[in-house]
A and B are shown apart, each in its own frame.
Chain A
Amino acid sequence: MRLILFLTGLLAMIMAVTGPVRADEAELRAAIAKFAEATKFSETEAVIEEIAGLGDPAAATALNELSEGQVMVRESDGEVFVIRGKDDNVQLLDPLTLEVVGTATEDDLRKIKIKNSIRRMIADVVSGLTLRAKDPKIRMQAAETIFSRPDEDIIETLDAVIAEEQDDRVRQAFIDARAAAVLDSDMSEAEKLEAVDILETRGGRDVLPILTTVSNSDIATVAEAAKTAIASVEERLMFWAAGQNIWYGISLGSVLLLAAIGLAITFGVMGVINMAHGEMVMLGAYTTFVVQEVIRNSAPGMFDYSLAIALPLAFLVAGTAGFVLERGVIRFLYGRPLETLLATWGVSLILQQTVRTIFGPTNREVGNPSWMSGSFEVGEILITTNRLWIVVFSLVVFAILLIVLKRTRFGLQMRAVTQNRPMASSMGIATPWVDAFTFALGSGIAGIAGVALSQIDNVSPNLGQGYIIDSFMVVVFGGVGNLWGTLVGALTLGVANKFLEPYAGAVLAKIFILVFIILFIQKRPRGLFALKGRSVET
């Protein structure tokens, strides 16, 4: 019975969303009005059959209320209502919309009598109505509901709809639901064995409880088949769980990559640890916020393009900040990396406080454009669209950066300075400007990372702080001055973190990773992909 209630609720919900899809409301109302004349059980049954014949899912509400004994007839004019409350204070509800249309006392009303056989009939009719709904989504959901709460009574209805169903996916869902219902019934051994087979093919976490119940059944062959099925389903689940973990890991890795890639450039070329790097990310995120605010206030229709507008702006804002930082502070500190570290830390504090003063200390809301929200499933792997975009985005940024480094004149100069500064200088490269623009580039990349991270993280003045240590770890692990090292480092750490999490918990996993990196640096002080040559031997 709860299943029916659930189905009805579901139906009502879908109706609310999709709007009326009913054939003819007047016809249905006329049919329901006939309850007023039905004084015998057989007459009531006839009316229910007539309603079922209309095939309108909207009838489910009224039928369900009837089954609960909540449908009454007003004696004075013979109108039919769903009622709430009792005695002198009864509310009258419209049988289709459940809106309150009046009040009455119980004395004015006559209850439409029902019995158990009618309740069963109603159950069949209601599930038949949902299972035959026009919208395949509703049918699909109805099938899934039955699957999660199998009910023996529904098998016949299912048999009927399986025969009628045109949509392959929906039919498969019906067959699965029927199998679940069969296993819940006392049908024959052969039927049950077949059902176990169907469920095994279906797989997924939700077949496990059904199969577990079956594996305790009295029929030895069925129980045995269920046990084998459980093993096979679990094996597949393990496989999918590993896949899901890899996806989460890649997703985390792409975030790390975005945050670390700018750092890899500045550290790689100049040997400068920029502690204000996280704040460049934060500046990018706040740029996104400002862009979205402007769009909200002036051109709400443009909201879906907000990120595209924010990207170049964030690059400019953070890049300019980086340029100023390099020209104003860092260039006086070359050759003194530890002092640079301290000075940039100071700059990071100043930037944080500036943003806090302007925008306030609380989180600011940055919205997801419509094309970035939602999710889909590949097998058993759940993929959210925004994460997918961030993975794609980080790889695109990586590729662009690689091209800039390998194919442009500026990239050539940058690499020359990285490998041998005095020689590059004597070949006529203006190393101070290469430094300044490299730093601006690294900071700008951090800025566009901020645009991406604003989609999945809280935009607050502390945004950058959360990433700075992780970014260091990635760069140091991957090896300085090597973009591929950063890519491999970020993805490895991301995946390793997510694989440890189920066993150790999120915090412990992170600690393990940190300890691992500390040990790793002892073994390979220059990271995975160490740059070979004189430049690294300081």
Chain B
Amino acid sequence: MITGFLFRALDKKAIWVALALLAVAVLVPLSNAMLPINHPLHVPTHIMALFGKYLCYAMLALALDLVWGYCGILSLGHGAFFALGGYAMGMYLMRQIGTRGVYGHPILPDFMVFLNWKELPWFWFGFDMFWFAMLMVLFVPGLLAFVFGWFAFRSRVNGVYLSIITQAMTYALLLAFFRNEMGFGGNNGLTDFKDILGYSVQAQETRAALFAATAIGLAIAFVLCSGIVNSRYGKVLVSVRDAESRTRFIGYRVEHIKLFAFVVSAMIAGIAGALYVPQVGIINPGEFAPANSIEVVIWTAVGGRGTLIGPIIGAVAVNFGKSYFTAAFPEFWLFALGALFVATTLFLPKGIVGLFNEGWTRLRSGREADRAEETLQPGTEAAE
């Protein structure tokens, strides 16, 4: 069964994407470490770090695409899962600081000493162990998605209502994490990390390894999503997106189908957050901001929802544009982003990948291409 899953997952173009990501995972760190600095193919460390960040965003967009593009659930709160995964990783990194903090307390992180806390809150226990933290990276976003989705899908909250309450969820978490009493560093979040698995997070080798891990993680997530959407379950998922009531009448438990996709998506988002935090060196409540989650939606839309490669392209492209614009024309970034939202929804409903596919189908002729497009793109009813 697993072979079958993998076989279907790696069919068509998927295998090329996965291989390309693996190649990036190997070649970029190699070029960074081996090639001399003035070599034309040398990748400077800061560029590698930047693209490491983009790949994390790509993973988040991929997670969102699984529920939005294939299941029609527009989550405006995926940033929350990303941030929760990030916080789990951040807590592990905080515990690794040990006595090197400003106050030199062997167990308590600096901000707890500052707040005069005497002992570690119960929910911080276990985070000194890497495996436990990694488990929590999956478990906490997964649990939140499960509980939230369980209630929401069971009572058939869908469409814009679901979007709004996912936004309310991330907003509530934003407010909660801003509170010092929560025990997650309040306003400042978690930062000042030193080690990960015994290696300094600042070291170039660690950064290269983190980059490779992110690229490999993205490749795995991609293969996983590809496997899901190409399986029989994936077909039902698409039918839920296109005609929810009909699917229900045929006899499928729509809420279970949605719930599974939602939880898997949240876990992928959690992993993306966990990979993100050691690379940027901080996690704070700002990551929960509703605006961030909506931005993820636009990455996915720009790249092309309902395709798995689309969100990856979209996330990297939009964020590259953001880095460029905010440095060169800080005034215009919001204009550009806003225009991107409007233009994408009006003129590019299928995103860059859709545009590319259309061009491709025009080159090739006939029914075969039309059919391919039908299966690749969501129908117009998808949004309802």
B383 touches A525 (CB 8 A): no
How does the 8 Å CB contact mask read for B164-185 relative to A, with 1 for contact and 0 for none?
1101110110011011000000
Once A341-B163, A345-B294, A353-B335 are accepted as A-B contacts, the answer to whether A522 and B345 lie under 8 Å apart by CB is no
A337 touches B384 (CB 8 A): yes
| Closest-CB distance, B195 to chain A (whole angstroms) | 33
Q: Smallest Cβ distance from A433 to chain B, in angstroms?
A: 21
Of the candidates A346, A508, A521, the one whose C-beta lies within 8 Å of that of B337 is A346
Segment among A193-201, A403-411, A509-517 that sits at the interface with chain B: A509-517
Over the window 328-345 of chain B, the binary record of Cβ atoms lying under 8 Å from chain A Cβ atoms (1 yes, 0 no) is 000110110111111011
Segment among A8-16, A230-238, A328-336 that sits at the interface with chain B:
A328-336
Q: Note all chain B residues with C-beta closer than 8 A to A510.
A: 172, 175
Question: Once the chains bind, are B155 and A342 in contact (CB under 8 Å)?
Answer: no
B334 close to A337 (CB less than 8 A): no
Chain B: CB-nearest residue to A271: B160
Q: How far is the CB of B30 from chain A (nearest CB, A)?
A: 39
Q: Smallest distance from the beta carbon of B23 to chain A beta carbons, Å? A: 33
In the bound complex, CA of A207 to CA of B332 (Å):
60
Do A517 and B342 contact each other (CB < 8 Å), given the known contacts A338-B160, A350-B335, A469-B290? no
Give the Cβ gap from A506 to chain B, nearest Cβ, in Å: 9
Query: A517 and B159: CB pair below 8 A?
Result: no
A3 adjacent to chain B (CB < 8 Å): no
Residue from B152, B163, B334, B335 having most chain A Cβ neighbours under 10 A: B334
Contact, CB under 8 Å: A518 / B169: yes
**B156: Cβ under 8 A from any A Cβ:** yes
Name the A residues within 8 Å of B332 (CB-CB).
Answer: 353
* Shortest distance between the CB of B166 and any CB in chain A (Å): 9
A18 contacts partner chain B, Cβ-Cβ < 8 Å:
no
**Set of chain B residues within 8 Å of A523, measured between Cβ atoms:** 155
In the bound complex, residues from chain B placing their C-beta under 8 Å from that of A163 are none
Q: How far is the CA of A340 from the CA of B148 in the complex (A)?
A: 25
Please determine whether B346 and A352 come into contact, CB atoms closer than 8 angstroms.
Answer: no
> Is A472 part of the contact surface with B, judged by Cβ < 8 Å?
yes
How far apart are the CA atoms of A465 and B174 in the complex, in Å?
15
Q: Is B243 an interface residue (CB 8 A)?
A: no
Q: Mark A493-537, 1 if CB is under 8 A from B, else 0.
A: 000000000000001101100110111011101000000000000
For B164, give its contact among A271, A472, A515 (CB under 8 Å).
A472
* Residue A395 CB within 8 A of the other chain: no
Nearest CB of chain B from residue A473's CB, rounded to whole Å: 7
Complex: chain B residue closest to A507, CB-CB? B175
Q: Smallest Cβ distance from B245 to chain A, in angstroms?
A: 10
B135 at the interface (CB under 8 A from A): no
Q: Within the complex, which residue of B157, B160, B164, B172 is in contact with A511, where a contact is CB–CB below 8 Å?
A: B172
Are B342 and A341 in touch, CB under 8 angstroms? no
Task: Check if B74 sits within 8 Å of A525, measured CB to CB.
Answer: no
The answer to whether B157 touches A350, judged by C-beta atoms less than 8 angstroms apart, is no
B380 touches A273 (CB 8 A): no
Question: Is the beta-carbon distance between B164 and A273 smaller than 8 angstroms?
Answer: yes
Given contacts A339-B349, A342-B297, contact A273 B160 (CB under 8 A): yes
Determine the distance from Cα of A356 to Cα of B156 in the docked complex, in whole angstroms: 40
A351: nearest chain-B partner, CB-CB: B338
B342 touches A346 (CB 8 A): yes
Residues of A within 8 A of B163 (CB): 273, 338, 341
Q: Is A129 an interface residue (CB 8 A)?
A: no
Does B178 lie within 8 Å of A507, measured CB to CB? yes
User: In the complex the two chains form, is B159's CB within 8 Å of A538's CB?
Assistant: yes
* Least CB separation from B154: chain A residue: A522
| Residue among A349, A353, A357, A523 having the largest count of chain B Cβ atoms under 10 Å | A349
State the interface size on chain A (CB cutoff 8 A).
44
Measured between beta carbons, the chain A residues less than 8 angstroms from B384 are 335-337, 538
Query: Residue on B with the closest CB to A348?
Result: B338
Rounded to whole angstroms, the CA-CA distance of A523 and B155 in the bound complex is 7
Interface residues in B, total, Cβ within 8 A? 46
A112 in the interface, Cβ–Cβ < 8 Å?
A: no
Q: Tell me if B161 and A476 are in contact (CB < 8 A).
A: yes
A336-B380 in contact given A343-B341, A521-B165 (Cβ < 8 Å): yes
Q: Which residues of chain A are near B340, meaning CB under 8 Å?
A: 346
Is the Cβ of B346 less than 8 Å from the Cβ of A333?
A: yes
Residues of chain A contacted by B337 (CB below 8 angstroms):
346, 349
Establish whether residues A515 and B342, one from each chain, have CB atoms under 8 Å apart when the complex forms: no
B318 within 8 A of A: no
Task: State the Cβ distance, B85 to closest chain A Cβ, in Å.
Answer: 21
**Contact of A336 with B383 in the complex, beta carbons under 8 Å:** yes
Q: How far is the CB of B223 from chain A (nearest CB, A)?
A: 28
Bound-complex Cα distance A476 to B157 (A): 12
Q: Is A290 an interface residue (CB 8 A)?
A: no
A309 within 8 A of B: no
Tell me the nearest residue of chain B to A518, going by C-beta: B165
Most chain B CB within 10 A, of A472, A508, A515, is at A472
**How far apart sit A519 and B345, CA to CA, in the bound complex (Å)?**
31
If the complex has contacts A338-B74, A339-B345, A525-B156, are A352 and B179 also in contact, measured as CB distance less than 8 A?
Answer: no
* Chain A: CB-nearest residue to B290: A469
The answer to whether A332 touches B346 (Cβ under 8 A) is yes
Shortest A486–chain B CB gap in Å is: 15
Q: Which residues of B contact A357 (CB under 8 A)?
A: 331
What sequence of 0s and 1s flags, for each residue 135-148 of chain B, a beta carbon within 8 Å of any chain A beta carbon? Answer: 00000000000001
B161 touches A347 (CB 8 A): no
Q: Is B301 interfacial (CB-CB < 8 Å)?
A: yes
Interface centre among A329, A341, A465, A508 (most CB of B within 10 A): A341
CA distance A521 to B337 in the complex (A): 31
B298: Cβ under 8 A from any A Cβ: yes
- Are the CB atoms of B341 and A345 closer together than 8 Å? yes
Q: How far is the CA of A340 from the CA of B345 in the complex (A)?
A: 8
- The reply to whether the CB of B151 lies closer than 8 angstroms to some CB of chain A is yes
Please, what's the 1-or-0 string for A354-381, where 1 marks a CB less than 8 Å from any CB in chain B? 1011000000000000000000000000
CB–CB B334/A511 < 8 A? no
Q: In the complex the two chains form, is B179's CB within 8 Å of A329's CB?
A: no
Given contacts A342-B344, A343-B341, 4 further A-B contacts (CB under 8 A): A343-B342, A510-B172, A514-B172, A518-B148
Binding site for A on B (CB under 8 A): 74, 148, 151-152, 154-157, 159-161, 163-165, 167-169, 171-172, 175-176, 178-179, 290-291, 294, 297-298, 301, 331-332, 334-335, 337-342, 344-346, 349, 380, 383-384
Q: What are 11 A-to-B residue pairs whose CB atoms are below 8 Å?
A: A336-B345, A341-B74, A342-B294, A343-B345, A349-B334, A349-B335, A349-B338, A350-B342, A353-B332, A517-B168, A518-B165
